[in-house]
Amino acid sequence: MSSAETIAETNTSNTDGNISDYFALLKPKVMSLVIFSGFAGLWVAPGFSDLHPFLAFVAMLCLAVNAGAAGAINMWYDRDIDAIMNRTKERPLPLGKMCPNEALSFGLVLSVLSVLTMGIALNWVAAGLLAFANFFYVVIYTMWLKRSTPQNIVIGGAAGAFPPMIGWAAVTGDITLASLSLFAIIFFWTPPHFWALSLFANADYKRANVPMLPVTHGERHTKIQMIIYCILLTPLSVTPYFLGVSGMAYAIAATLMSLFFLYTSFRVLKDQTYKSAKLMFGYSVFYLFAIFLALMLDKI
């Protein structure tokens, strides 16, 4: 057993977690992005106006619960490294507020219930996407890629890109080029977003032996990769306009916000401190909310 695992298991008692601990397992901050981007996919999908409001609520509830369930299983699996990282050491499992099996059972039960509910209430295409997103995050990213390759967040980032596709499929029951364009926006946004974080959390990842790009290839290489992904993201952010999902107002807003995102990546490259990386990380969160908000407002 590694030192990280020893710390995690030593801190873990047989006490049952309280409501706040269970809520923390769901990663509510991450869940908010999932819900918002998923609702954007639901909102802009053809036929949304014909969808009963209660079914729309059920779809978003299933998406939120499933994302939280994946987060709980992620915390169960990563409890060893969470215990030695400053950013995660206050989570319920490293603090010994609940048994690992309690968190795992919680995540598995919610995963199954959310997928079954989505399939029965909406359709099985949306349910299938929901199940695959959960599997991708838990197995492909958390259990395989995260600790084995510096491309972990590039490939694994696909898990977080599924919500707008799931929202779209909840309405239409299909997967289209338009919904894939929404997937692509989040997919190419994810690496610069997380690499900005990993720059100023580099010591944490080194201590936990997680091969994030700044750890394995250095900060300058990471910063250049961030610029490349921001360049690719800029034209991709406008594809919903060319696919008829949005109008010119969205295209203009997306272009301006993406160009500013690119500008922040150049600022990070020139900055020898972590100030610009922290600002870019903060803007990246705003960017994702803002670009999907612009997409929805353009449909009104």
Q: How confident is the model at residue 270 (pLDDT cuts 50, 70, 90)?
A: very high
User: Whose CA is closest to 170, among 287, 66, 251, 292?
Assistant: 66
Domain ranges of the chain: 1-174, 176-300
Cα 99 from chain centre: 25
User: Whose CA is closest to 18, among 110, 119, 102?
Assistant: 102
Question: pLDDT per residue over 107-127, tens digit each?
Answer: 999 999 999 999 999 999 999
Report the pLDDT value the prediction gives residue 15, as an integer from 0 to 100.
58
* Domain 1-174: assigned CATH number: 1.10.357.140
The predicted model gives 280-288 an average pLDDT of: 96
Report the pLDDT value the prediction gives residue 87, as an integer from 0 to 100.
85
The predicted model gives 168-172 an average pLDDT of: 98
Q: From residue 76, how far is each of 84, 93, 106, 108 by CA, in Å?
A: 15, 7, 10, 11
Give the sign of the dihedral formed by CA 178, CA 176, CA 35, CA 26: negative
3 state DSSP class of 2: coil
Cα 80 from chain centre: 21
What's the residue count for the chain? 300
Among 30-34, 46-50, 173-177, 258-262, which stretch is predicted with the lowest mean pLDDT? 30-34
Say which residue, 55 or 153, is predicted with more confidence: 55
Amino acid code (one letter) for 131: A
pTM reported for the whole predicted model: 0.91
Mean residue pLDDT of the chain comes to 92
Say which residue, 201 or 56, is predicted with more confidence: 56
Report the pLDDT value the prediction gives residue 16, as an integer from 0 to 100.
64
Q: How confident is the model at residue 150 (pLDDT cuts 50, 70, 90)?
A: very high
Whose structure tokens read 């779809």? 59
